[in-house]
Copies of this chain bind each other. A is one copy, B any other.
């Protein structure tokens, strides 16, 4: 029988890379529930419940808090294509792959970008954004809260207020922070935020948690030009998720089942308890790694507990170690991207994957491999 016709086999991996993380069996079970229609009254209830759960996790009252029908990068596209028009001036903070990605998208939308950069592995100096805001009138300030490519947790408190005072929207990428560290959309005056499911929410990838406040919706409704995307057009999507229930595109039903269950697990654990667990497990990992002489890329106060970027010891072959971890120990960790390729490992401790057993397994495996 050709390989393609055989029943699929999937190895059991311990997922400690930059995402996906391991998924709780309850989420897998929810995803395998039978399908119902995307306009079935029972499904509409599940949609409402999912929105309510998402609001809790985003710490927001925003009405339009929904999953966008695509991965985290689809959420990113929705976050800019709806609000930014050709010629709009946007400040973009860039200190890693995902800041670069935002800038790339904005150039495609023909926005005028002002880049505020920091070295990869360091946070953005927020005062430099403040300086730029004083110089000109901007449509938006875009920043990545948790840079998955470097493991930097960017301080963003206060930036939302600054943006608002200067008439700009505050758009924040929370792909690797949501569910792992506090993300306070309302308190931090975030106007638009998008996230991913396969990181700290421990839900399979394919859907993007997304929240928009009324201020951003007003900006969208005041556009001069038509939204260039049909698929991500929030003026239509909000009619399906809102009380009108007008069909736009068929919702990814099974993924919404999965997300609802993943969010329910988070509520059961409690947000604060979950953040504490993520932090304590990062501390445990950093101690254990310190014992075998492995150090962090990022200064301690800016470290993201969910994504630990550590320097590959001198003389060690990056790819060889990662291949052995995967082949011999069924453990996945990530390599570096871009300028950090070959220089760092990215160890994710996200959601269901963030536990002491996994850390012990990884550190013992690394000990074995590195001593040889």
Contact among B73, B108, B252 with A204 in the assembled complex (CB-CB below 8 Å): B252
A32-B31, A253-B205, A326-B40 as given contacts; A230 in contact with B105, CB under 8 Å: yes
CA distance A52 to B2 in the complex (A): 11
Copies of this protein chain in the complex? 2
A interface bracket (residues with beta carbon within 8 Å of B): 35 or more
B-contact 0/1 string along A100-115, CB 8 Å cutoff: 0100110111000000
Q: Which residue of B lies closest to A73 (CB)?
A: B249
The interface residues of chain B lying within 8 Å CB-to-CB of A76 are: 230-231
A123 within 8 A of B: no
A315 within 8 A of B: no
A70-B74, A257-B8 as given contacts; A35 in contact with B204, CB under 8 Å: yes
Contact among B20, B249, B253 with A253 in the assembled complex (CB-CB below 8 Å): B20
A261 within 8 A of B: yes
Q: A residues touching B (Cβ–Cβ < 8 Å)?
A: 3-5, 8, 10-13, 15, 17, 19-23, 28-38, 40-42, 45-46, 49, 52-53, 69-74, 76-77, 81, 101, 104-105, 107-109, 196, 198, 204-207, 226-231, 247-255, 257-258, 260-261, 264, 267-268, 326, 332, 337
7 nearest CB pairs, A to B: A206-B252, A32-B32, A73-B249, A204-B254, A28-B32, A105-B230, A4-B49
